[in-house]
A = this chain, B = another copy of it.
Amino acid sequence: MFDELRNYYKKIAKYSSAASLLYWDMQTYMPKGAGNYRAEVISEISSFIFRMSTSDELGKMLTDVQPSNEIEEAIINVGRKEYDRYKKLPPELYEELTMLATILEMEWEKVKPKGDFFAVSPYLEKVVELSRKVAEILGYENEPYDALLDLFEPGMTAKELEEIFIPLRKLTLDILNKIEETKIDYSKIFDVYIDKDTQKDFNEWLIQYLKYDLNKGRLDVSTHPFTNPIGLNDVRITTRFIENDIRNSIYSTIHEFGHALYSLSIPEEFYGLPIGSSASYGFDESQSRFWENIVGRSLSFWKGIYNKFIELVPVFKRYSPEELWRGVNAVKRSYIRTEADEVTYNLHIMTRFEIERALINGEVKVSDLPDLWREKFNYYLGLTVDNNTIGCMQDPHWYGGSFGYFPTYSLGNIYAAQIFEKLKSDINFDEVVEFGNFEPIKEWLCKKIYSKAKIYKPKELMEIATGKPPTSQAFMNYVKEKYSKVYNINL
């Protein structure tokens, strides 16, 4: 009986695998002229998955089946929650939104370089309108935005986020002011032209150094780096090469590696089942940020990769590992989220959170977006945005129909620091990282987090893994301690 349910889910997973590949290909190798038809194909298969995920047959199985252990119980619970949620959505609404968002994301990519917001805003208006409809149908206690946020971070509310963000903003601005008082600009170290081939060579070495299993993954290039779990034993990542800042490719690669490692470490027997993924988007992001920032931006990591780095990119020979470490940790107000340092990163998220919350709650219109972005960005980061390419058009999320996703990036930072605090008490972190011996770290993460997949809710899993519910305390301590060293100041 339970086998029947399992097989049903595993069947859905096969169509999801096809849809994932269609998406990955669209972002990497698809000829440009094939875009419209590709959107139709993705929409058809997504609708099919949607219909299978909301069928009466599945509903009956979820009601009738008797779990014989805790794992089966979790499968039914998570499955039931998803089922009930999607059951509320009319298939036509889902289909229309998927289709529109696929087309809009392609259009966005085309007009982004020119910052031509009003070329895409009519579509975006429609996507926001449909997303607001989705929020209404899914339901919420306090505000429509919570309904969408819950899709990415189960149990989280806008109010809770606000409470996390208020002290975080204060601390961030404190640190930022103290750092700016030093007048030190470490970022110049990396202000060097490095051609794409050199960057490619280094990044290809890097994923092997991190022991990304290339028998189960690959590294490609896309405008916006992403990780795509295409199927069992097939989780691919992309990066991008910015020729005047090699840090961008290095940290995109490590970031996506973190996502891929989590995904590839979910126990095979859970594959395709409701519990067969990361615990939440915030948890998923905690792993990309853990590898990117906590591992990849540590002094020990730079000591470990130093020789190979200066061999492949010899222009950096004139710097010591410490100097390069400071260079990748340079704190600076900047326009682009994905290039932001650990300290200011959350300010970028707060900007987006406030805007998308207001959009979904119906307090602002899509046509207000460019101005609203300028205003909020100035409030949070003190910078004046003078074009949409680096403003409200820099990220694909909204154009791809994802509202409520951005906050999970900040939750990722917060979760990562809390996990790190615990991990450090079990493992001599600096020593293993310096020797490129990542196995103990991977094993620890696998045991505490990856192997638990989505059996527990985010808050529960954090308690199980670290002994405490999630708070931003560990992150604040981490930032103060690290940047005191980076800038030789007292934070």
Query: What residues make up the interface of A, taking CB atoms closer than 8 Å to B?
Result: 11, 14-15, 17-19, 21-22, 25, 29-34, 36-38, 40-41, 44-45, 213-218, 220, 230-234, 236
Contacts and interface: CB of A to CB of B under 8 A. Distances in A.
B33 A215 contact: yes
A197 to B, nearest CB: 12
B41 A215 contact: no
A60 to B, nearest CB: 22
Contacts of A32: 215
B31 A214 contact: yes
Contact of A34 (B22, B25, B37, B233): B233
A18 B45 contact: yes
Given A18-B22, A25-B25, A37-B17, A31 B232 contact: no
Given A21-B25, A25-B25, A33-B213, A41 B231 contact: yes
A61 to B, nearest CB: 19
Contacts of A22: 18, 21
A14 B214 contact: no
A38 B45 CA distance: 17
Contacts of A25: 21, 25
11 contacts: A15-B44, A18-B41, A21-B21, A25-B25, A29-B29, A31-B214, A31-B218, A31-B236, A32-B215, A33-B216, A37-B231
Contact of A218 (B29, B38, B216, B218): B29
B45 A15 contact: yes
Contacts of A41: 14, 17-18, 231
Contacts of A21: 18, 21-22, 25
A130 to B, nearest CB: 22
List of 10 A-B pairs having minimum Cβ-Cβ separation, nearest first:
A34-B234, A37-B232, A33-B215, A14-B44, A18-B18, A33-B233, A33-B216, A14-B41, A37-B231, A17-B41
A37 B13 CA distance: 11
A250 to B, nearest CB: 22
Contacts of A45: 14-15, 18
A11 B47 CA distance: 12
A232 B216 CA distance: 30
A25 B218 CA distance: 12
A44 B33 CA distance: 28
Contacts of A14: 40-41, 44-45
Q: Taking each of A29, A30, A37, A230, which has the highest tally of chain B beta carbons within 10 Å of its own beta carbon? A: A37
A220 B213 CA distance: 23
Given A29-B29, A44-B11, A230 B18 contact: no
A455 B46 CA distance: 33
Contacts of A234: 30-31, 33-34, 37-38
A277 to B, nearest CB: 16
Nearest to A38: B231
Contacts of A19: 18
Q: Taking each of A33, A217, A220, which has the highest tally of chain B beta carbons within 10 Å of its own beta carbon? A: A33
Nearest to A26: B21
A35 to B, nearest CB: 9
Contact of A31 (B11, B33, B233): B233
A32 to B, nearest CB: 5
Nearest to A43: B14
A226 B453 CA distance: 40
A55 B214 CA distance: 41
